Structure 1
């Protein structure tokens, strides 16, 4: 091979190296990169959704536990635990839970001036409501009767409870040591708030030793399947 042929071969190789990638190769590379990025983004979104779902369930379950702990603390200070003989005004419960305290007790920082001060707990179904400030469909509400100015307003202390119009209603069984009748539900025996009493008496003056109750809260922990769960607590006044 002479010098001319060597020079020709060198120029041919150099031209081939300077040519670079073709447009088709570039398009193929971009398509593959896009597919990889789409799969990675989809996996990341699924992870975020899974984490959010777990966090949401944890928060809702924790809220129910905190609500029961709050009620339990109030039960421990009561001198009698009874129920209303009729439905509570402003709630859907056919019979509300009533915690009666000694005269002169302090409730929510206020020294009570009425005889037999009390706290009532009732259930309200807001599944058909347009209100947006609550998780829905059911609420647990609390009302304080302590002085001449109290007792007019309900406070919401828990939401996301089972509503009364759902077909998948939980089954509630009272503890063997308690009265077998379940209270707190609506007039059709439905809803996410229920309780059983040691003695079925609506008058705290005739049932001063009625200090044991079993509380049930049924809340929607899973938005997808709406599975009701129950949490139970016992409290005895001392």
Structure 2
């Protein structure tokens, strides 16, 4: 059975989320603080985690940073009542894979979890080559001519999607749906920001890969070999 970790200090919210996920067929571990979350990840084989941002002692942002620093690639959905763009960007930059603002409909929450589990299952068995780039999904590692290209988990996911459909223009809506799990309540400008991050990191490489803007549509990745 697919296992999901839920980190929520609000007892009623935690119980609601756990019950809903169990009804969806998941095995759920519920903890209410960051230390227990990190211990649970070390001991359990979770397919994804839903983590509240506003936790005592250790925030959801900090939990994400600790996980990524330990090399964990556990897909993380952050849950928060804070809906400012800056907070969403901070959450994604901390290593989270997706961000959902409270209050939310459980159907959307469940869809986000399914998307994370599905992407993780696909990534576990896939490697992709485009131009001089090699993308290794199981380790979330990108290399160019054997040299590492340092990417965050979200940057890697975006580059992976563009590479999978190299030469094909992708809309911001498509990118949000696939990489962020939804296009609802997310400013499409976040796509532009992450494309800018990728361009800066790809520019010094000898990969022959570039991301171009398709006016009126979105972006596409091209390789010169």
Q: Normalising by structure 2, what TM-score?
A: 0.23
Q: Normalising by structure 1, what TM-score?
A: 0.22
